[in-house]
A = this chain, B = another copy of it.
Amino acid sequence: MTTQAAEGLRDRKKRQTRRALGQAAVRLVAEHGLDHVTVEDISAAADVSPRTFFNYFAGKEDAVLGPDPEAGPRVRARVLAQPADLSAAAAVREALLAEVAAELADDRELWLQRMRVVQQHPVLLARLFFGGEALERDLVAGIAERVGLPADDTYPLLLGAAAGAAFRVAVARWSSTAAPLHDLLAEALDLIAAGLADPPRHHRG
């Protein structure tokens, strides 16, 4: 049966095209702004027809964000894989930190540019959150399973949503400061675990 590398030429080309489109989208939008870039521009830069673009992405915004359909299940598995003596919040913390480390190892520079673009285009932020929705659903499912509650109970929903909030804030600060994303995310998650009590040092008039 000649069971070899198992990765056909077809799939490799598909990934190449997808990647080319995504990179072109980020680069062009960074250069010219979101409304001054058409799908045709992106397609041309990636050397495919505009029609083909839509075989890969639902639109400009999707191409910029390049959502990863496997991220959700991966995060869910990570949550369940954490040691049983951790609280749910702690398990989410470890799972997200591990996931972020893995993602960034892949393509640090692209992610950074992507996030800078997102900061400059609030519409993209909305779409990022939307993609985050699918991910958040899986995260919530993992949390629910871990604590033995239904997935539509307040607690899993809220922990998932709060983790998403922490992630957004960390990314926002990442694109404007030089600190490692890992540290920023850890800090945000810790603040939430502390119940968002008033910050220690704040001098009033």
Contacts and interface: CB of A to CB of B under 8 A. Distances in A.
A181 to B, nearest CB: 13
B158 A166 contact: yes
Interface stretch (A7-15, A46-54, A70-78, A126-134): A126-134
Interface residues of A, number: 45
A87 B147 CA distance: 30
Nearest to A128: B126
A189 to B, nearest CB: 10
Nearest to A88: B198
A148 B204 contact: yes
Interface of A: 87-89, 122-123, 125-127, 129-130, 133, 147-149, 152, 154-155, 157-159, 161-162, 164-166, 168-169, 172-173, 176, 184, 187-188, 191-199, 202-204
